[in-house]
């Protein structure tokens, strides 16, 4: 479970627990002679098991979330049709699940459609006053869920940004890099894409801090980030690895193409004049991903190539074996 997203884990638990909880009722209803409901429960168990296997094998949560929401809505509506008003209480926790699993627009559509459908189903057999109360309560539950999850997801997005962004350069930090590399490797295991990683380091950067101070050093790092983004157009794949080291990954190109990209970056930095007329150069190590590598092993090979580039005179690109 460690490499799975939060939504994947929730879907896996929901489908597994639903199947586990409903399974005994298949036998209970069958023994009590309620064959129709026993078959209905068995279908739910089978569908939930299929959902579990689908998410477990594919890691695709968007479609699974929508399908699970639709299935749960269909189950509630079917049970209300058979058993009447007593089942309505199960709809309220379902609304929370719908807003948790789906994007807000999708959740709103699902809740509006299901609320109207249930109201129309109840209307012929329930007095108008009671139907009105149920309709308003379902509507209010949907509205409150929308407000709560909108606030929750907004806060969650801000916290995620703070937790995954380097405060100085506004690039991704090591936490974001680890997450991205793990996702890229999982994807590569399924799709077998060629991908590379570039580790770059500013040459003699310590002397800049010692000579000009850390404020000038920070300004150079920010300028370097802008140079890379503006000239190489890789904002989404640029991460500050530590100090004056940055990583660009994953690049879905072969080693030869990645080397050309690295050389372009080296030339751009070499030709640029930084603040206080300071000139800087880059040393870069490039590594293509090997099957069964971990992120740390992949980075280590790029790091070894980077140090060879530095040891051989700096301001060079070196390719990992």
271 is catalytic: no
> Over pLDDT 90: what percentage of the chain?
47
- Residue 123's pLDDT is what? 86
For the ranges 55-69, 200-214, 216-230, which has the lowest average pLDDT? 55-69
**Is the pLDDT confidence value at 232 over 80?**
no
Q: In which band, very low, low, confident or very high, does the pLDDT at 201 lie, cut at 50, 70 and 90?
A: very high
pLDDT at 235: 46
Question: 180, 189, 244, 321: which one is catalytic?
Answer: 244
> Does residue 234 have a pLDDT over 60?
no
**Mean of pLDDT values over 82-94:** 85
Domains of the chain (ranges; CATH) run 6-164 (no CATH), 174-319 (3.30.70.270)
* pLDDT more than 70, % of the chain: 98
Distance CA 107, CA 66 (A): 9
Measure the CA–CA gap between 93 and 78, rounded to whole angstroms.
Answer: 17
Residue 2 reports pLDDT greater than 50: no
């Amino acid at each position: 479970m460690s490499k799975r997203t939060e939504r994947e884990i929730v879907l896996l638990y929901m489908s597994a627990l639903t199947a586990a909880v409903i399974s005994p009722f298949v036998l209970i209803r069958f023994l009590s002679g309620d064959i129709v409901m026993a078959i209905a429960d068995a279908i739910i168990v089978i569908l939930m098991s299929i959902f579990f296997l689908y998410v477990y094998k594919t890691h695709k949560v968007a479609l699974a979330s929508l399908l699970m929401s639709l299935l749960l809505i269909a189950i509630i509506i079917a049970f209300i049709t058979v058993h009447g008003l007593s089942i309505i209480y199960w709809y309220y926790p379902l609304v929370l699940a719908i807003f948790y699993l789906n994007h807000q627009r999708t959740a709103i559509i699902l809740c509006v459609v299901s609320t109207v459908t249930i109201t129309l189903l109840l209307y012929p057999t329930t007095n108008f006053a009671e139907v009105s109360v149920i309709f308003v309560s379902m509507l209010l539950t949907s509205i409150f869920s929308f407000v709560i999850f909108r606030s929750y997801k907004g806060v969650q997005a801000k916290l995620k940004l703070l937790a995954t962004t380097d405060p100085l350069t506004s690039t991704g930090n090591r936490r974001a890099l680890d997450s991205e590399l793990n996702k890229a490797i999982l994807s590569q295991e399924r799709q077998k894409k060629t991908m590379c990683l570039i580790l770059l380091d500013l040459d003699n950067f310590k002397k800049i801090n010692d000579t000009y101070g850390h404020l000038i050093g920070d300004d150079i790092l920010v300028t370097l980030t802008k140079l890379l983004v503006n000239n190489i157009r890789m904002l989404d794949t640029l991460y500050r690895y530590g100090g004056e080291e940055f990583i660009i990954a994953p690049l879905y190109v072969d080693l030869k193409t990645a080397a050309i990209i690295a050389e372009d970056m080296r030339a751009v930095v070499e030709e640029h004049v930084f603040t206080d007329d300071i000139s800087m150069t880059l040393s870069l190590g490039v590594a293509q991903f090997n099957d069964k590598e971990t992120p740390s092993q992949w980075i280590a090979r790029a790091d070894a190539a980077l140090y060879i580039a530095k040891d051989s005179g700096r301001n060079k690109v070196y390719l990992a074996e």
